[in-house]
Amino acid sequence: MSLLTVWGPRPSADGGKLHDYANREWAGLVGGLYRLRWKTYFTELEAALRAGRKPKPIDWFALEDGWTRRRPPYATRPRGDVAEVARRVADRL
């Protein structure tokens, strides 16, 4: 069962409209999954423009399910000093 971008298998994502229902931004999703999604979309869009055709449909469920099953492990404990990072960001603003 997948809970990163859908709640359950393909029927829940496609038929149940639960695809990307929570738009999580956990560590690794923005640079991993969401980057892959945008890269996939723009790669197909560019190929379609060059070939003078409509973009092919992308099977987002298969793409995300595959990523979820082979993604690298992520840290389960925070690292660094969150308060210090926040201070540095605030100082820059």
Report the candidate in 27, 31, 33 with the shortest Cα–Cα distance to residue 2: 33
- Above pLDDT 90, what percent of the chain? 38
- Above pLDDT 70, what percent of the chain? 76
Whether the predicted pLDDT of 2 surpasses 60? no
Domain-embedded: residue 50: yes
User: 36: domain range?
Assistant: 10-92
* Number of compact structural domains in the chain: 1
Q: So what's the pLDDT on residue 1?
A: 47
Domain-embedded: residue 69: yes
Report the candidate in 19, 16, 53, 17 with the shortest Cα–Cα distance to residue 37: 19
- Residue 77 in 3-state DSSP? coil
Q: Over the stretch 41-77, which tens digit does the pLDDT of each residue have?
A: 999 999 999 999 999 999 988 998 888 888 777 777 7
R_g (Cα) of the chain, nearest Å: 17
Domain-embedded: residue 83: yes
Domain-embedded: residue 15: yes
pLDDT: which is higher, 35 or 12? 35
Helices marked H in 52-81: 60-70
Domain-embedded: residue 3: no
Mean pLDDT for all residues in the chain: 82
Work out the number of other CB atoms within 10 angstroms of the CB of residue 5. 24
pTM for the full model? Answer: 0.64
Domain-embedded: residue 35: yes
Domain-embedded: residue 5: no
